[in-house]
Structure 1
């Protein structure tokens, strides 16, 4: 039986959601490809998984660099020849302290769109031959409750908290539905998951009520391992579904 393969973007931090997702998929017998702009950081985490007897490979991947995506795709093709799971987890720096669209730094908005929307979009295009080579691939886009300020008018205590982050994640949710429609005649399912508030930055001191990354990762892994009757083009958040 051919081992399943999963590529997760943004896996450079031991406490990060990306690494928690990678570990859980590795425990489900996936060869996991941990990717980051700084491959040395991803390699430290991949080595940790290998010490736990999992199949793990670190790759350089920068969502603003098309050439790095092609190189990563080539590496996956050479090693396994297919891709069962793509988790678009990487995200740009969050502008938490900005509370209004009128105060948004538009350079930050542009950067967030590049990393959170255009990067995943191009990555799906680049990896599509590998995704279609798998029997039934899954694409999971990691969203954020911040996007619901735009989609549903959710009140997070500001006219628009973290506008760059929120706008980009809203656009990523829209991209999810667009990709799902484009792939509707294939076995590939595309969904977005808002993992909820997750404790990944203890140095900030503002995550006392957030849950561990391992808990938040379960919803992402659930979407990454849906069976053939699973939904597509949906946004999920604990408790499922949100929309």
Structure 2
């Protein structure tokens, strides 16, 4: 039986979610593409050899419940959950003093509360897999809150930064709660990615396929690998659990476990 991965936010051919789906498909995963617009997800799923499309709105509990039921009934397990969907970035906002609080609420709903609810609903299927992986697509912009780092443009996106900081916290608490299981939970920052060719961002950002490799690395970590960290590609950026230290580097073969002391390893 091939492994199955569910990816949220896969509605655009140029998007990170579809790039992740392509890479997993190349590793013989059955990929479940989800989006609020089912027709767009279906169009992308048709371009892959083994894929399913589902309507999933992270602000609509009924669609999340239906998706979880479909996974359980159709596959009996889920090997990978990638929480990729994200709300629009509020780069036009100069600071938290000017933040549009409804935009903050929307970001929290889609980036944090939705993934949290979806993870809970899919947990029985994740536990049914031999060694499931949960990957939350995050951002180093969250570090301006936890570390006070000057991150330039991201300082102008308080809703986005606040939501991603909360997502990092969620990653840590989920990893801690699942520490006595084979399930690994990590967050990955894909970096600045060219996902909007109509805006001409190819000149300032790397291709989505390149950014997707770090997400796939975390989704396919071997048993005993790290859990509870925020990674950029395969480099540790932030410890989300006590005892974390860098365990991998950009030049490592992503198919091999990183050497050295783990940030928190699961026993299997």
TM-score normalised over the length of structure 2: 0.86
Contact 1:195-1:238 at 8 Å conserved across structures: yes
Report the counterpart of residue 106 of structure 1 in structure 2: 101
In structure 2, distance between residues paired with 1:195 and 1:6: 18
Root mean square deviation of aligned Cα: 1.2
| 3-state SS, counterpart of residue 235 of structure 2 | coil
Report the counterpart of residue 4 of structure 1 in structure 2: 3
Report the counterpart of residue 236 of structure 2 in structure 1: 241
Deviations 1:53-97 (A, max 9, x none): x21000000000111011011111222111000000000011011
Report the counterpart of residue 14 of structure 1 in structure 2: 13
Report the counterpart of residue 116 of structure 2 in structure 1: 121
Deviations 1:165-223 (A, max 9, x none): 01000100000000000101110000000000000012233452200000000000000
State the 1:158 CA deviation: 6.1
In structure 2, distance between residues paired with 1:162 and 1:10: 20
Report the counterpart of residue 204 of structure 2 in structure 1: 209
1:37-186 matches, cutoff 5 A: 37-49=36-48, 54-157=49-152, 160-186=155-181
Contact 1:180-1:190 at 8 Å conserved across structures: yes
Report the counterpart of residue 189 of structure 1 in structure 2: 184
Contact 2:135-2:218 at 8 Å conserved across structures: yes
Contact 2:214-2:234 at 8 Å conserved across structures: no
Compared with structure 1, are the counterparts of its residues 154 and 239 closer, same or farther at alpha carbon in structure 2 (3 Å cutoff)? farther
| 3-state SS, counterpart of residue 140 of structure 1 | strand
Report the counterpart of residue 265 of structure 2 in structure 1: none
State the 1:30 CA deviation: 0.7
| 3-state SS, counterpart of residue 70 of structure 2 | helix
| 3-state SS, counterpart of residue 203 of structure 2 | coil
In structure 2, distance between residues paired with 1:179 and 1:165: 21
Report the counterpart of residue 34 of structure 2 in structure 1: 35
| 3-state SS, counterpart of residue 186 of structure 2 | strand
